[in-house]
Structure 1
Amino acid sequence: MVKNVIFLVKQILKSGFTILVTLFVLHLIWNSTADTEKVNKRDMHKPISMAVTETVTFESVTTTEDAFTTEKTTEKVTYTKYQTFKYIHLPLKICELDGGQFDPFLLIVVKSSALQIGNREAIRSTWAKFNNPNIKLVFLLGYSPLIKQYINMEYNLYKDIVQQNFLDDYFNNTLKTIMGLDWTVTHCPKSKFVFFVDDDYFVNLPKVLNYIDYHVRKQTKHLIAGHKYTGAVPKRKTGSKWYVSWQDYPEKRWPPYLSGGSMIMAMSVAKLLKEQIPYTKPLFIDDVFLGIVAKSLNIELWNERKFSVSFVPDRLGSLFSAHRYGSPKNLISEWKRVRCNHKNLFQKLYGSPDC
C-alpha cells in the first residue's frame, strides 16, 4: 500500500500535475478513514514571543505547549520549555544513536512544509540521491492533521523524517529550526558540519563539499556561512506578514543574519547555538532569530553569495544552492540538465547521468 501511494505521487509529478492534485488523490484514498482531529492554531498576527498556552490533541495523548513563558534567574532570563513539544517521528540509521554505523561527516537538514510532498519526492530523486555514506539527509516537519496518514506512510517508507507535534505553519518556522538544531546536536554530535536548507532549493552538493573542504584546509573555526544580510529594518506596520512590534524587538535594525533557506555551519556552531537558544527571546522569523542568537555569542557570520536567494538557471553549475526552482517537475528537469552539462562535477557523487 505504501509503495503504491508513493508510486502514484511520483507518476503525478512526472505527468506535470501540481501538488494540489496529489493531495486531492490522497484525500480520496483516505476519505473513509479520515480522523476528526482538531488543532488550535495560534493567531498568526500574535507575536511568537508572547506567552501563549495551546493544547493539541493527538489521538489519546494531550500535551500542553506552554512554549514561551519566562523565568528570571539570578544571572539571566531563561525562555523555558522550548522543548515541551514531543517527537512524532525520529529518523533511523542516520547517526550512531539511532542505529547508524557512525555519525556522518555532513548532515543535511531540510526544512520542509508537511504539505510539500512533491518537493520531498523530487529532492529524494535528484540532489539527495548521492552515493556517499559520509553524507546523510533528513526532513524537518511540523504536524499537519490534513495529511497525518500520508506522513506516517512516508516515514515508514524512508525513515528520514524528524517531526514534532507543533503545528506545521509558517509562523512556527523558528520552532522547526530549533527542533532541527536540537535533534542534530543530540543525535549526531560527532558530525562535523550541518547544512540547513529549505525544500524549495536546488542544491549543488559537489560545490558545497568543495566549500567545506576549503574551510577544513584553512582550519576555519566556528564556520557558519550563507547569504548574509546587514542593516535590515524590522517591519513595523501591523498589516505586514513579518510585523514585529517594538516591544518584541526594541532596536531600529536587525543584527546581521544569514538567509535561513540555505546555510552551512560547523557542528561546533550548532552546539553553541543550541545552548544559547533558551536564553534568547523567541521570534517567529527564524533566520533573524538565529542572527540574534549568533550576535549574543559574538559568532562571525560568513557572507557567501553562492548560497543564492534567487533561481538563476544559467548559474546552477557554479552556485552552492538556488532558491525557488518552481514545481517539483522543474527541479527534476533542471537537475538532469545541469548534471548533463557538468558531468565531471557530478560524476563522483552521483555516477553517470542518463543524457
Structure 2
Amino acid sequence: MKRRRIQNLVHTMIPQFLKHKIGACGARHWKRQLFYIMLYAALFLGIVGFLSQIIFLSSKFRILSKYNNIDDNLDALNVTDKTKQTPPKTFLSYKHNFSFPLEIDIAYLVNEKIQYNISIPHEPINPHPFKYMNLPEACNFKLNKSYWTENDTILVLVKSTARHYSLRAALRSIWRSVQDPGIKKVFLLGYDGINQTQIDEESQTYGDIIQEDFVDAYRNNTHKTIMGYNWAIQFCDQVKFMFFMDDDYYLKMSDLASYLRKIPEENRHNIYIGSLSKAGEPYRDKSTRWYVSTEEYPFDRYPPYIGGGAYVVSYDVAHRFQLAFPFVKYIPIDDAYLGIVARKLMIVPHRDMKFQSYYRGAIAKECSHDASQLIKQYCPLARFGFNMYIHQNKKRAKNTTLLRSLILIICILIAACCCIALPVILHLYCDGFFKEAYPQTDR
C-alpha cells in the first residue's frame, strides 16, 4: 500500500518537474510551432533574396560588358562602326611571342655603329630611296650673343600635308613673335604634283620646307617621319632636342623652350616623351585610314608608343632611330612604327602630360584644320579630346562603382547565407537537445 502511494506521487511530480525544467525552450507547444514558422519564413526570405541578387548581378554584368565594348582610344577621335569591321581573326599575341623583322639584335648593332663606326652587317629591308625636292639651310644656331648654349637648342619638325598652305602660314604667324636663336623650325612634306609650283615658291620665300619625292599621302607618313629624322641627323647634328608635331596643333613655342631647357643636364638623354599609348590595337577595318593588314603587322597589340601629334626626342634617341629604320619592317602608321623601333632598341617611351592634347596645361594641343581657328587658339579638336577624356573617366568611375557594388553584394550574400544557416543550425541543435534530454516529450 505504501509502495503504491509512492508510485502515484512520482507520476504526479514528473510532469510538473518536466514543465518546470523545459520552460520556454519547448514545453509549450504553440511556442515551438511559432519557432518553426519563423525559421521557415526566414529560410524562404533568404532564398528569395538570393535569387533576386543573382538576377541583379546578371543585369550588372550585362551593363559591364556594354561599357567594356566602348573604344577607349583617345588617339583616334573618329569612331568606327563595329558592324562594318571584318569578322574577328586570330592574331599573334604581342605579350607572348613578339618578334618583328629583322630579327636581329639591332640595339647592339646600333650602339656598335655609334661608338666604333662598325657598319651593320645586314641588308636593309626598309630602304628610303627618295630624293630631296626642297631643302632648307642646315642648322646654324647663332648663340654667341645669347644666354643659351648648344645643350639648349631645339629643332621643331612639323609634319604637314602639301596642300595645307593656310595652316603653315598660321603657324608661322603665331611663332613670328618668338625670336629665339636656339630654335629652328621646318615643315615636312611629300610630293604633290597639283600644288608643287606653289610649294616651290613657298620654299624659296621662307626656306623652311623639307620635301622628298614620295607621294604626299597619309599612308606615307612613316616615310615623312623617316625623312625628318634623316635630315635632322645629317644637317642638324648639333641640336639637343627634337620636337615633332602635326600642322593642326597649336604650339606654345616659348613654353616648349622653357620646359625643355629646365631639364637637368644629366637627364637630357634617352628622352622619348609625349602622349603614351601602352596597349594600342591595330585597326583591321579596311574602311579606315589607320588600317594595318595582318601581313604588315600580325600581332594583336602594338608595343608602347608615343602619339605622333606632338612628342619630344633627344638627339641620341633620334640618332639611334635613324640608324635602325632601314632594318625594321615598314608599317604605314608612323607613331606605332616608332614604338616598334623603340622596343627593338630598348628605348622606353614615357608619358608627359605637357604634350597630352586634352590636358588644360598642355604646351601643344590638337587644335583645328581651320587656319583662322588655329590663329585664335580656338581648338575644337582638343576640346573634343578633353570631352572624350572626361567621358572615359566617368566610365571608369562607373566601372569602379560597379566593382564596389559587386563586392558589397557578395558581402550581403555571405551575410544572408549566415543568417539562413544560423537558424538551421539552431533548429538542428534544439531538436537534438530535446531528443537527448527529454525523450518523453516526443511521445
TM-score under structure 2 length normalisation: 0.54
Q: Distance in 2 between matches of 1:123 and 1:161?
A: 13
Secondary structure in structure 2 of the residue aligned to 1:140 = strand
Matches within 5 A, 1:61-210: 78-82=124-128, 84-92=129-137, 94-95=139-140, 105-127=153-175, 129-210=177-258
Matches within 5 A, 1:24-39: none
User: Which residue identity lines up with residue 78 of structure 1 in the other structure?
Assistant: P
- Relative to total residues, which structure has the larger strand share, 1 or 2? 1
- The alpha-carbon deviation at position 184 of structure 1 amounts to 0.3
- The alpha-carbon deviation at position 203 of structure 1 amounts to 0.5
Report if aligned partners of 1:308, 1:323 keep a CA contact under 8 Å in 2.
Answer: no
Structure 1 pair 330–238 and aligned structure 2 pair: CA distance change class (3 A) = closer
Indicate yes or no: 2:341 matched with 1:293: yes
Larger Rg: 2
Matches within 5 A, 1:333-348: 333-334=376-377
Structure 1 pair 167–129 and aligned structure 2 pair: CA distance change class (3 A) = farther
- The alpha-carbon deviation at position 204 of structure 1 amounts to 1.4
- The alpha-carbon deviation at position 254 of structure 1 amounts to 0.7
Secondary structure in structure 2 of the residue aligned to 1:222 = coil
Structure 1 pair 81–204 and aligned structure 2 pair: CA distance change class (3 A) = same
Aligned to 1:44: none
Q: Distance in 1 between matches of 2:286 and 2:246?
A: 27
Secondary structure in structure 2 of the residue aligned to 1:325 = coil
Pairs aligned (count): 255
Q: Distance in 1 between matches of 2:264 and 2:273?
A: 13
Cα RMSD (Å): 2.5
* Cα-to-partner distance string for 1:76-111 (whole Å, 9 max, x where unaligned): 6631421x1010011025338xxxxx9781011111
Secondary structure in structure 2 of the residue aligned to 1:265 = strand
* Cα-to-partner distance string for 1:1-36 (whole Å, 9 max, x where unaligned): xxxxxxxxxxxxxxxxxxxxxxxxxxxxxxxxxxxx
- The alpha-carbon deviation at position 159 of structure 1 amounts to 0.8
* Cα-to-partner distance string for 1:236-264 (whole Å, 9 max, x where unaligned): 23333222222221211111011101101
Correspondent of 2:366 among 304, 323, 336? 323
- The alpha-carbon deviation at position 326 of structure 1 amounts to 4.2
Indicate yes or no: 2:278 matched with 1:243: no
Q: Distance in 2 between matches of 1:249 and 1:303?
A: 24
Report if aligned partners of 1:109, 1:197 keep a CA contact under 8 Å in 2.
Answer: yes
Secondary structure in structure 1 of the residue aligned to 2:312 = strand
- The alpha-carbon deviation at position 224 of structure 1 amounts to 1.1
Report if aligned partners of 1:207, 1:319 keep a CA contact under 8 Å in 2.
Answer: no
Matches within 5 A, 1:231-310: 231-310=279-358
- The alpha-carbon deviation at position 207 of structure 1 amounts to 2.4
Q: Distance in 2 between matches of 1:165 and 1:269?
A: 26
- Relative to total residues, which structure has the larger helix share, 1 or 2? 2
Q: Distance in 2 between matches of 1:121 and 1:281?
A: 35
Q: Distance in 2 between matches of 1:136 and 1:206?
A: 13
Identity %, equivalent residues: 34
Matches within 5 A, 1:1-80: 78-80=124-126
Secondary structure in structure 1 of the residue aligned to 2:263 = helix
Structure 1 pair 106–123 and aligned structure 2 pair: CA distance change class (3 A) = same
Structure 1 pair 181–285 and aligned structure 2 pair: CA distance change class (3 A) = same
Structure 1 pair 258–197 and aligned structure 2 pair: CA distance change class (3 A) = same
Q: Distance in 2 between matches of 1:142 and 1:220?
A: 31
Give 4+ residue runs of structure 1 displaced > 3 Å after superposition: 74-77, 93-96
User: Which residue identity lines up with residue 329 of structure 2 in the other structure?
Assistant: K
Q: Which stretch has the larger CA shift, 296-305 or 204-213?
A: 204-213
- The alpha-carbon deviation at position 208 of structure 1 amounts to 1.7
Q: Distance in 2 between matches of 1:128 and 1:306?
A: 22
Q: Distance in 1 between matches of 2:243 and 2:343?
A: 20
- The alpha-carbon deviation at position 220 of structure 1 amounts to 4.1
Report if aligned partners of 2:292, 2:332 keep a CA contact under 8 Å in 1.
Answer: no
TM-score under structure 1 length normalisation: 0.67
Q: Distance in 2 between matches of 1:210 and 1:159?
A: 25
User: Which residue identity lines up with residue 140 of structure 2 in the other structure?
Assistant: C
Runs of 5+ consecutive residues of structure 1 not aligned to the other structure? 1-69, 97-101, 336-355
Secondary structure in structure 2 of the residue aligned to 1:119 = helix
Structure 1 pair 225–128 and aligned structure 2 pair: CA distance change class (3 A) = farther
Secondary structure in structure 2 of the residue aligned to 1:227 = strand
